[in-house]
């Protein structure tokens, strides 16, 4: 069995798209996924499956969420070992544990691409934020106290491309990579 990470986009944010992690876990176990674990209340799920096709897993989970919770939630799925590889290829400036910097990993949900994201969000504010693309993720860091002055902060949740993005902090990503 392979170990996967599923990241649900936009659940339990501001009282919207509420999904209990206990109920989510139970429903995933009903799909015959093994060793299901959730982390935090923001839709981070780690599970094992015999299925090798990520598109099939994505479809199964999105269909289950629609049927059980009546929500259309985009889901990003990645092999846990691939997530570890991504973290091993992080730029040196990302997650250096500086408290004044906020480090995130933006996961691009296919069929969207980095080119699509960049075309819509445009150039980051070079004085306040950094980005680096690796495969279908973007390492993104910004000066915490000046987040409202960054070019990407508001756009990642309001732009047309936002439904094709799910964002996690560096600490969250590192935790789920090791679960």
Dihedral sign for Cα 51, 55, 56, 59, please. Answer: positive
What φ, ψ does residue 3 adopt, rounded to 5°?
Answer: -105, 130
What φ, ψ does residue 6 adopt, rounded to 5°?
Answer: -115, 130
Tell me whether strands 101-108 and 165-169 are parallel, antiparallel or unpaired: antiparallel
Residue-level pLDDT at 99: 81
Q: Which residues lie closer than 8 Å to 9 by C-beta, 6 or more apart?
A: 43, 73, 74, 75, 76, 109, 163, 165, 166
Closest-CA residue to 121 (of 105, 144, 138, 134): 138
For 42-96, write each residue's pLDDT tens digit.
999 999 999 999 999 999 999 999 999 999 999 999 999 999 999 999 999 998 7
Q: What mean pLDDT is predicted for residues 161-165?
A: 94
Give the mean pLDDT of the chain: 95
Closest-CA residue to 75 (of 99, 98, 54): 54
Output the pTM of the full model.
0.94
Residue-level pLDDT at 157: 86
Q: Which residues lie closer than 8 Å to 69 by C-beta, 6 or more apart?
A: 19, 23
Cα separation, 131 vs 138, in Å, equals 6
Q: What mean pLDDT is predicted for residues 138-151?
A: 94
pLDDT greater than 80 at residue 13: yes
């Amino acid at each position: 069995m392979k170990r996967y990470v599923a990241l649900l986009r936009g659940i339990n944010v501001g009282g919207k798209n509420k999904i209990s992690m206990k109920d989510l876990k139970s429903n995933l176990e009903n799909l015959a996924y093994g060793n299901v674990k959730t982390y935090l209340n923001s839709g981070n799920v780690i599970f094992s499956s015999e299925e090798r096709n990520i598109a099939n897993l994505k479809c199964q989970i999105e269909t289950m969420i629609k049927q059980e919770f009546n929500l259309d939630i985009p889901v990003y799925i990645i092999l846990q070992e691939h997530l570890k590889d991504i973290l091993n290829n992080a730029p040196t400036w990302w997650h250096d544990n500086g408290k004044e910097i906020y480090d995130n990993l933006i996961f691009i949900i296919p069929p969207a691409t980095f080119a699509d994201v960049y075309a819509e969000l445009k150039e980051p504010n070079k004085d306040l934020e950094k980005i680096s693309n690796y495969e279908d993720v973007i390492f993104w860091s910004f000066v915490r106290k000046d987040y409202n002055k960054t070019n990407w902060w508001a756009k990642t949740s309001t732009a047309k491309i936002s439904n094709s993005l799910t964002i996690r902090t560096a600490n969250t990503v590192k935790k789920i990579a090791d679960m």
